[in-house]
Amino acid sequence: MTLVEINFDGVVGPSHNYAGLSLGNLAATKNAGDTSYPRAAALQGLAKMRGNMGAGLAQGFLLPLPRPEVKWLEALAADATTNPALVAGAWSASSMWTANAATVSPAPDTADGRCHLTVANLVTMPHRSHEWPDTLAQLRLAFGDTQHFAVHGPVPPCFGDEGAANHMRFAPSHGEPGLEVFVYGKGGGPFPARQHEEAGRIVARRHGLDPARVLMVEQNPDAIAAGAFHNDVVAVANEGVLFTHELAFADPAGTYDAIRAKCPGVEVVEVPAASVSLAEAIRSYLFNAQLLTPPSGEMTLVVPSECRDSTPVWNWLQQMLASNGPIRHVKVVDVRQSMANGGGPACLRLRVVADPATVDPRFMLDDAKADAMEAVVGTFWPEQIDTVDVGKESLANSVRTARGKLLDLLGLGELS
């Protein structure tokens, strides 16, 4: 069995809009009320998937969830005239950020030799708290082969869990046993700490991880206060490399030492605040990059185009490339529509180390399928959404039709 890293990107849903629902996510708050472009957003996401596939990497996807989420509004007894924020929450396309769909422990790390996934409860933000049942249904289809996968329900809601966005894995190569690092935040700052320490511990126990290859690490409260609402806004790991901002963790030196003690050979590429301030790192999403190992073995950092627009960030990246470190290439992608809601290249994907042959093929991408998906998006995804239209029945019908067409194309009608 050949284990490889498969990136499952979220297809941007037809209801993508800017409602300013995420306190502590500075981009989303800043762009609240702007007109969104769901068609362009979904095409940008598909172009990113194609780029990574073209580099020889395995690529999968997860589908938009049913929107508007009427059952949630019914449970809240909310309607469009009196509760616009709740209605916007029922319309959000936030499931596109699949780094928040689940936490994944690949087979080499787990006691029973299966790949374990725990769907994230996302309880901190109301508009994301109702994602998990539909996400779980999708994970149970995509990873339905119980010989190779175990898909778990959410951690109880008393402990906030935001999935892989706060989880890093280190291993000499993807298919070998690794060290799993669970990053959590502590409350008390100006913005919510979305990942509870206990949630990580629960996931580690459920997945049957060896305690000797698990680490709990606290986020720097200053990073959360500066807008790093998930750890993947300030750090990213791949195989034997940690790419991180100097101020990502509460105890940076202790964190690096602990990682190296449990996974010898890990190289830390640390960006000092003197070169790129925390504010600039968060504005540009330098660390919300995909750090990938293509078949050539030359590690590549896939960054959003906002990094090229930032002089300090771009200068730092050029220096890094010239320094002969472990990251050999930088590739720029345009995911501006997602970025404006605080979701960069890394937010848009869930990493699963597995044999692609064990995944339901309906969730795997190839060029022909990408062509067909682009055609559906190009025909049925709304070109633009003004926030005043969120809640209107005519738009709801277009959104439902668009998603239905994609499900039909992919033979995934059971998710409707």
CB of 324 to ligand SUG, least distance (A): 30
Task: Determine which residue in the list 15, 44, 52, 92 makes contact with ligand SUG, applying CB under 6 A.
Answer: 92
Show the tokens assigned to 130.
């109702």
Residue 10, interface with ligand SUG (CB under 6 A)? no
Task: Determine which residue in the list 15, 284, 300, 341 makes contact with ligand SUG, applying CB under 6 A.
Answer: 341
Q: Pick the closer one to ligand SUG by CB: 229 or 376.
A: 229
The set of residues, in sequence order, having a beta carbon less than 8 Å from that of 53 and lying 6+ positions away, is 59, 365, 366, 367, 370
Show the tokens assigned to 105.
């422990």
The verdict on whether omega for the bond into residue 190 sits within 30 degrees of 0, i.e. cis, is no
Contact range with ligand SUG by CB under 6 A, out of 97-105, 181-189, 294-302, 377-385: 97-105
Task: Determine which residue in the list 165, 224, 226, 350 makes contact with ligand SUG, applying CB under 6 A.
Answer: 165
Residue from 5, 69, 162, 280 carrying the catalytic annotation: 162
Residue 100, interface with ligand SUG (CB under 6 A)? yes
Task: Report helix, strand or coil for 17.
Answer: coil
Task: Report helix, strand or coil for 175.
Answer: coil
Burial group, residue 402, by CB count within 10 angstroms (0-12, 13-18, 19+) = buried
CB atoms within 10 A of CB 366: 10
Residue 227, interface with ligand SUG (CB under 6 A)? no
Residue type, 353: V
Show the tokens assigned to 195.
């990942």
CB of 195 to ligand SUG, least distance (A): 11
Site size with ligand SUG, rule: CB under 6 A: 23
Rounded-to-integer distance, Cα 112 and Cα 131, Å: 28
The verdict on whether omega for the bond into residue 211 sits within 30 degrees of 0, i.e. cis, is no
Rounded-to-integer distance, Cα 50 and Cα 9, Å: 11
Task: Determine which residue in the list 5, 9, 13, 18 makes contact with ligand SUG, applying CB under 6 A.
Answer: 18
Phi-psi region of 106 (alpha: psi -120 to 50; beta: other; left: phi over 0): beta
CB of 217 to ligand SUG, least distance (A): 17
Is 280 one of the annotated active-site residues of the chain? Answer: no
Task: Determine which residue in the list 42, 347, 390, 395 makes contact with ligand SUG, applying CB under 6 A.
Answer: 347
Show the tokens assigned to 25.
């996510």
Encoded one letter per residue, x for contact with ligand SUG by CB under 6 A and - for no contact, window 228-247 reads: -xx-xx--------------
Residue 22, interface with ligand SUG (CB under 6 A)? yes
Q: Pick the closer one to ligand SUG by CB: 178 or 343.
A: 343
Site for ligand SUG in 355-374 (CB under 6 A): none
Residue 310, interface with ligand SUG (CB under 6 A)? no
Q: Pick the closer one to ligand SUG by CB: 163 or 178.
A: 163
Is 162 one of the annotated active-site residues of the chain? Answer: yes
| Lookup result for tokens 């291993």 | 171
Residue type, 207: H
Encoded one letter per residue, x for contact with ligand SUG by CB under 6 A and - for no contact, window 374-403 reads: ------------------------------
The set of residues, in sequence order, having a beta carbon less than 8 Å from that of 149 and lying 6+ positions away, is 114, 115, 116, 117, 143, 354, 358
Is 16 one of the annotated active-site residues of the chain? Answer: no
Site for ligand SUG in 244-283 (CB under 6 A): none
Task: Report helix, strand or coil for 21.
Answer: coil
Give the containing element (helix H, strand E) for 401: helix 393-410
| Lookup result for tokens 């029945």 | 393
Residue 207, interface with ligand SUG (CB under 6 A)? no
Longest dimension (CA), the chain: 58
Q: Pick the closer one to ligand SUG by CB: 290 or 293.
A: 290
CB of 139 to ligand SUG, least distance (A): 17
Q: Which residues bind ligand SUG (CB under 6 A)?
A: 18-22, 25, 28, 92, 94, 97, 99-100, 125, 128, 165, 229-230, 232-233, 341-343, 347
Catalytic residues: 162, 230, 347
